[in-house]
């Protein structure tokens, strides 16, 4: 029958084409089998820990915002210690370079105090904002208490470590009711800390750079 003959003729033609290309087809099938085997045999991707890192260079004293951070993947056990739950909204105690992890010791708070167990870490308002602008984390200063009435100045603490210089609050600067000066975070010897706290609210604290 013509129809059956036509089917047989088409089948023989197809078979000849397949046989003529059997080697390339076999190679392609083998490659597919290898790829499937690799995908099936490969284990799950290695576990990682997401660590907050600086998205760009950040200066000491800035308040960390969401755009200041990104994450980097660390293998479990290699991530730095002291990772905060959320650095956003915290004040940087020291500069952080782009790509560096943002840990507790880089932020004003309990972690910073833990990094200096031999010092009393306390915020102190210095009356001269211009002097505060000269300070940098890591500076060593002496503090003197000046009495405007008598004109006398008395040393209250020496070799004080500047730990953080928070950025000036522009809104507070325009508020006449805001206290004068600027806050700094200092590391003070435990014996001198009470005197510094008292002088900060009763006298005029003066800064002298340590030699």
Name the residue among 126, 128, 56, 125 with its Cα closest to residue 92.
56
For 97-122, what is each residue's pLDDT tens digit?
Answer: 999 999 888 888 888 888 888 999 99
Handedness of CA 118, 83, 164, 121 (dihedral sign): negative
d(CA 166, CA 168) in angstroms, rounded, equals 6
Instruction: Grade residue 190 by pLDDT with cuts at 50, 70 and 90.
Output: very high
For 33-90, what is each residue's pLDDT tens digit?
Answer: 656 665 655 557 778 888 899 999 998 888 899 999 999 988 888 888 888 888 999 8
Name the residue among 202, 209, 187, 186 with its Cα closest to residue 146.
202
22: three-class secondary structure by DSSP: helix
With 0-12 / 13-18 / 19 or more C-beta atoms within 10 angstroms meaning exposed / middle / buried, residue 85 is exposed
Instruction: Grade residue 197 by pLDDT with cuts at 50, 70 and 90.
Output: very high
Q: Which residue has the higher pLDDT, 186 or 28?
A: 186
What is the number of residues in the chain?
Answer: 211
Statement: the pTM of the whole predicted model exceeds 0.85: no
For 139-149, what is each residue's pLDDT tens digit?
Answer: 999 999 998 88
d(CA 68, CA 89) in angstroms, rounded, equals 11
pLDDT of residue 37: 60
70: three-class secondary structure by DSSP: strand
pLDDT of residue 142: 95
Counts for the chain of helices (H) and strands (E), in that order:
6, 7
The CA distances from residue 161 to 95, 121, 135, 167, 200, in Å, are 16, 9, 10, 18, 16
For 1-44, what is each residue's pLDDT tens digit?
Answer: 555 655 556 656 655 555 555 566 566 666 666 566 656 555 57
Q: What DSSP string runs through 125-169?
A: EES-HHHHTT--TT-EEEEEEEETTTTEEEEEEEEEEEEE-PPP-
> Which H or E run includes 202?
helix 193-202
């Amino acid at each position: 029958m013509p129809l059956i003959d036509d089917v047989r003729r088409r089948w023989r033609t197809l078979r000849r084409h397949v046989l003529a290309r059997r080697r390339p087809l076999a190679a392609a099938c083998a490659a597919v089998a290898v790829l499937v085997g690799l995908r099936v045999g490969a284990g799950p991707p290695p576990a990682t820990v997401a660590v907050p890192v600086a998205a760009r260079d950040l200066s000491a004293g800035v308040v960390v915002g969401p755009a200041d951070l990104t994450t980097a993947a660390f293998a479990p056990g290699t991530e730095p210690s002291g990772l905060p739950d959320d650095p956003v909204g915290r004040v940087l105690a020291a500069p952080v370079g782009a790509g560096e992890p943002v840990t507790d010791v880089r932020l004003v708070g309990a972690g910073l105090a833990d990094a200096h167990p031999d010092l009393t870490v306390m915020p102190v308002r210095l009356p001269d904002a211009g002097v505060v602008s000269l300070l940098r984390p890591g500076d060593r200063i002496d503090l003197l208490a000046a009495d405007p009435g008598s004109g006398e100045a008395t040393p209250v603490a020496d070799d004080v470590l500047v730990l953080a210089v928070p950025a000036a609050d522009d809104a507070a600067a325009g508020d006449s009711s805001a206290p004068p000066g600027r806050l700094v975070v200092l590391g003070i010897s435990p014996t001198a800390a009470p005197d510094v706290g008292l002088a900060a609210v009763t006298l005029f604290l003066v800064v002298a750079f340590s030699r």
